Amino acid sequence: MKILFIGDIVGESGRKAVKTLLPKLQKQHALDFVIANGENAAGGNGITPKIATELFSYGVDVITSGDHLWDQKEVMELLSNEKRFLRPLNYPAGTPGQGSFVALNGSLPPVAVLNVQGRTFMQPPLENPFVLARAEVERLRSQTKIIFVDFHAEATSEKIALGRMLAGEVSAVVGTHTHVQTADEQILRGGTAYLTDAGFTGPHDGCLGRDIEPVIKKFLTSMPQRFELAVHRVMLHGAVIEIDNATGKAIKIERVKEQLT
């Protein structure tokens, strides 16, 4: 089985990149399943039901999120009605939505997707992702051996530590949030694919998807600025993971870096 994970989709240009480039990637890699982090898909801030429907129509099977979960009030509708949309698992009990989903995948084994958020340098502070992820993985393994984890976190050390803890228990741990694609893709002991950050899908001629000048001005003056989205050099970042159907172990991980404009 081959799974494509698409790094944080930012704004309309990021969505256009998915629409335009995903068919090419599906053909090139013979993909069986597609996961995307969509927490910045609505103008760089959050996601709406309309945008989630748009991404599903392009071929995305499951959408994960992160610390921008609550930026759009319409997200409550998604959390209540769409099982294929995930919020971080480690929100307190009673929070709407779910942190994991097991997707049927035709004649192939089911795919479990788990979304967790880190605590180091992250807001809001959530429950311990290490404790909750370990328990949830154990539960998911009773349903399928193929488990993909999106760890939405800032600190590289925290991401690596979770990957090492879950090595041999899940098929892949891929980080999101920093919008900078790392070059440390590897297969950890026990057959777990790992990448510290998948990068982001959107305009790269800026500062993490935003216009350059307001970001620099904020650093120069320490005054609040309005960060509009950048426009040029739109790219799709992510990773393709090949997984053994019988064992759920990763065979190969390959970074994806495709340019739209």
Query: Could you say which of 29, 68, 152, 204 is catalytic?
Result: 68
Minimal CA–CA distance to 47: which of 77, 17, 19, 21? 77
- Contact by Cβ (8 Å): 217, 225: yes
Residue 204 appears among annotated catalytic residues = no
* DSSP result, 70-127: TSSTTHHHHHHH-TTB---TTSPTT-SS-SEEEEEETTEEEEEEEEEE--TT-SS--S
CA angle in degrees (0–180, nearest 5) for 69-31-118:
30
- Contact by Cβ (8 Å): 171, 194: no
Structure tokens at 39: 């927490």
CA angle in degrees (0–180, nearest 5) for 222-47-166:
90
Q: Which residues does the annotation mark as catalytic? A: 68
